[in-house]
Amino acid sequence: MKIAFFTETFLPKVDGIVTRLTKTVDYLVKNGDEVIVFCPEGGPENYMGARVIGVPALPLPLYPELKLAIPRPAVAEVLEKFSPDIVHVVNPAVLGLGGIWLAKIKNLPLVASYHTHLPKYLEYYGMGILEPLLWELLKAAHNQALLNLCTSTAMVEELSRKGIQHTALWQRGVDTDLFRPELRSEFMRKKLLNGRSDTGALLLYIGRLSAEKQIERIRPVLEALPDARLALVGDGPYRQQLERIFHGTATNFVGYLGGEELASAYASADAFLFPSSTETLGLVLLEAMAAGCPVVGANRGGIPDIVTNGINGYLYEPEEENSLATATRKLLGNHEERLALREAARQEAERWGWKAATDQLRDYYQQILSSRVNYKLNETIS
């Protein structure tokens, strides 16, 4: 197959969407498919055998890390020359809308996927009043597609309730070769502690430092567990505010980590805390679990798809005061139980490889192409 992706985010940006997309591209190319990726400029010209077309982009004012690329005539020319069998738009916003328009005018099969719960983000940037409007815009865009993929059952159900049609689950995936318990090390633990004594639990957060991630909810956990230490790995527009919020606590702002260093950070912590209640999936939770790090996540969105409370981690209730601290205390309370959680977390992660997720995606593509061929044959016969 020849597949054209339109995405609002790609390398060198690091997040769950980019991870899923790069892994997907890798496995598609290995399977013999031809792939082209249209994305904001600034990344590589090719990736794992796929051609990457950078489109001039401007940073989003509220979120400078995210760049909005406006489609140009050259995009249409490149797409026409590539002549894809199918177009897949990832989180359509600006460039993705261009991909939708081009697919429609060129009569190409269109798939869309929903990865970021943007309507829920608005309230964290003082624009909650616009949520109904954004849902209408998302519905108008996604309903152009023959198939709308979501990364958790909760999002499949929510999008269907909001009037988005033809929804289906695109199963989760994680790199269990990279993220593994064996990378636990005292060297990394000392780096995460940043000179602080290793007398209590080492808590870890990895991801964007942005308002919608609700990282400030970890502050009461540190107050409830005075011997605990916290390492925040990543960066983002909310870092300065978080530095003020966590001032005076045993918190280390580590910055970005990648590769085995990142995997070692997961494996070296005692608990991974992910307070966000706006996640469509929460890939970092799967990475932590693959590394054998017990997790605490919100009982919202896609997270309950991953975390079974008390079995491979703990869930907390975002609306209940002290719920995150209570869940964290339960996780840390018994050493033998924590070891059992580590093992169960790893076993859960091992069920979800990227190859299986990409094979499922290819099956979706082939079903669409097959039904389209049958439709055209019937049309010709009639």
How confident is the model at residue 371, as a pLDDT?
85
Supply the DSSP symbol for 301.
T
Reduced to 3 states, what is the DSSP secondary structure of residue 57? strand
- Give domain limits for the chain: 2-173+353-381, 181-349
Q: Which of 93, 85, 150, 81 is nearest to 118 (CA)?
A: 93
**Third-level CATH fold of 2-173+353-381:** Rossmann fold (3.40.50)
The model carries a pTM of 0.84
Closest CA to 237 of 115, 21, 59, 42: 59
CATH of domain 181-349: 3.40.50.2000
pLDDT at 119: 63
Alpha carbons 249 and 366: distance in angstroms, whole number = 53
Consecutive sets of 10 residues in the chain, 382 residues long: mean pLDDT of each? Answer: 96 90 97 97 95 89 70 93 98 92 96 83 72 88 96 91 95 94 97 93 95 95 96 95 97 96 97 91 92 96 92 95 96 90 94 93 96 52 37
pLDDT at residue number 24: 97
DSSP single-letter state for residue 144:
T
**Phi-psi bin for 195: left (phi > 0), alpha (psi -120 to 50), beta?**
left
Q: Do domains 2-173+353-381 and 181-349 have the same CATH topology?
A: yes
Dist CA 163 CA 216 (whole Å): 33
Q: Which two tokens mark 227?
A: 């011997």
Q: Strand, coil or helix: what is 21?
A: helix
